Structures are given as C-alpha cells and as structure tokens.
C-alpha cells in the first residue's frame, strides 16, 4: 500500500513517495526527493487507525505533504 507522485520543478524532478509499514507498528513514511536526492522524511503513527481506514489515512497524509510543498513553492515564486 502506498502512493507515488512526481512533478517537474524547473529542471529537476520532485518525487513524493508514501509507504505503509506494519513493523514495529502501523505507520506511514513520506519521502521527498528532489533531483533523485532524498531531502526530507515525514512519519505518522497509524496504530490507532482502524484497518478499513488505512488507505484513506495514507492518502490524506500523502496529499497533505504535497499541498504543503506546493504552498511553499508558491510563496517562493512571489
């Protein structure tokens, strides 16, 4: 279970990759790459999330990080 999105940012590729892990506890990790280099890792604990809600929670976390990055890029552009 996971998501992967990539965007062109100038001459470089921005990649946002979110993965679900079961051990040691349910969690998601979102890794941000720019030009192939790892720039940032975000982690969220999903241990209290009911199993049917896991994909929805992963999608929301992934989209929130994309929105955060886009907001930062818009501010830099102004």
2-48 per-position pLDDT tens digit: 999 999 988 999 999 999 999 988 999 999 999 999 999 999 999 99
Residue 39 burial (CB count, 10 A)? 12
Q: 3-class DSSP state for residue 11?
A: coil
CB 58 within 8 A of CB 66: no
Write down the pTM of the prediction. Answer: 0.87
Per-domain residue ranges for the chain? 2-77
User: How many secondary structure helices (H) and strands (E) does the chain include?
Assistant: 1, 4
For the stretch 36-63, pLDDT in tens is: 999 999 999 999 999 999 999 999 999 9
Q: Are 34 and 9 in contact (CB under 8 A)?
A: yes
């Amino acid at each position: 279970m996971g998501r992967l999105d990539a965007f062109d940012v100038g001459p470089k590729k921005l990649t946002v990759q979110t993965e679900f892990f079961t051990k040691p506890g349910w969690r998601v990790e979102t890794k941000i790459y720019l030009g192939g280099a790892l720039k940032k890792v975000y982690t969220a604990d999903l241990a209290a999330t009911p199993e049917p809600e896991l994909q929805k929670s992963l999608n929301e976390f992934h989209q929130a990080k994309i929105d955060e990055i886009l907001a930062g890029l818009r501010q830099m552009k102004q």
